[in-house]
């Protein structure tokens, strides 16, 4: 693979940048798919998607600050 443009996906819950193969779970809300490092992050997002989407619209690189078990 010589593709240098690795697309990193932002986990808006814990703030991790994920390589595509690290994405454990996704959630689609209003036709936008969000990527998460684990099911716990996804569940937190799914609990209040409108809140997190509004937060992201305001501050795209600001995570919810949740420290999930995957983040060390
Ligand atoms: Zn996470």
The pLDDT tens digits of the residues spanning 39-50 come to 999 999 999 999
Give the Å distance between the CA of 2 and the centre of ligand 1: 27
Residues with CB under 5 A from ligand 1 (ion): 11, 14, 37, 41, 68
Query: Quick one: which of 8, 10, 13, 36 has its CA closest to 23?
Result: 36
The CA-to-CA distance between both ends of the chain, in Å, stands at 28
For residue 64, the CA-to-ligand 1 centroid distance in Å is 10
Q: State the DSSP code for 22.
A: G
Please check the confidence at residue 72 and state whether its pLDDT lies above 60.
no
Distance in Å, CA 3 to ligand 1 centroid: 25
DSSP letter assigned to residue 37: S
pTM: 0.83
State residue 34 phi and psi, 5-degree precision.
-110, 145
Structural contact between residues 37 and 11, judged by C-beta atoms closer than 8 angstroms:
yes
């Amino acid at each position: 693979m010589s593709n240098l443009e690795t697309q990193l996906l932002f986990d808006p819950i814990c703030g991790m940048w994920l390589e595509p193969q690290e994405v454990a779970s996704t959630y689609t809300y209003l036709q936008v798919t969000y990527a998460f490092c684990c099911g716990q992050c996804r569940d937190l997002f799914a609990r209040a998607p409108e809140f997190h989407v509004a937060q992201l619209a305001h501050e795209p690189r600001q995570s919810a600050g949740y420290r999930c078990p995957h983040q060390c």
